[in-house]
Amino acid sequence: MITNLNTFQPNANDGFIRVYNRGAFISYFRIEYKLNQWYHELYSREIPVLQNDILRIPAGATDILFQVWVAVYFQTWLVKYVRRFSSPPRKCYRLSGVTFYTYCEEIPCPIGDLG
């Protein structure tokens, strides 16, 4: 639901993706989705080592594209992981490794993590 303050108010059917950065690099992630015939893009903040971030995906979103980007040099980023979803997921991912040997794996979300 969008309020008159243009803030996103989550509901019980929304999805989310949370990314934990446990690698020796800075990362961010990006989500694209289609909702009511319009395409939307969401960007996380730059995630330093031992930090995490979350993006929420509204119920009813389709054609969802999830990408993880890693900084390989000053202002130079590479895509390290891509996944598509047909409906809003509720997933957590962990990044590990070093800049050029990056691993991204789906992990169980902590108990009680509902986004």
Write out the residue range of the structural domain in which residue 70 sits.
Answer: 35-107
Q: Is residue 75 one of the residues assigned to a domain?
A: yes
CB 55 within 8 A of CB 64: no
Q: Is residue 44 one of the residues assigned to a domain?
A: yes
Q: Is residue 74 one of the residues assigned to a domain?
A: yes
- Encode pLDDT of 2-23 as tens digits: 444 445 555 778 999 999 999 9
Q: Tell me the three-class secondary structure of 37-101, residue by residue.
A: CEEEEEECCCECCCEEEEEEECCCCEEEEEEEEEEEECCEEEEEEEEEECCCCEEEEEEEEECCE
Q: Is residue 13 one of the residues assigned to a domain?
A: no
pTM for the model: 0.86
- Encode pLDDT of 30-88 as tens digits: 999 999 999 999 999 999 999 999 999 999 999 999 999 999 988 899 999 999 999 99
Domain count, the chain: 1
Q: Is residue 46 one of the residues assigned to a domain?
A: yes
Q: Is residue 59 one of the residues assigned to a domain?
A: yes
Q: Is residue 20 one of the residues assigned to a domain?
A: no
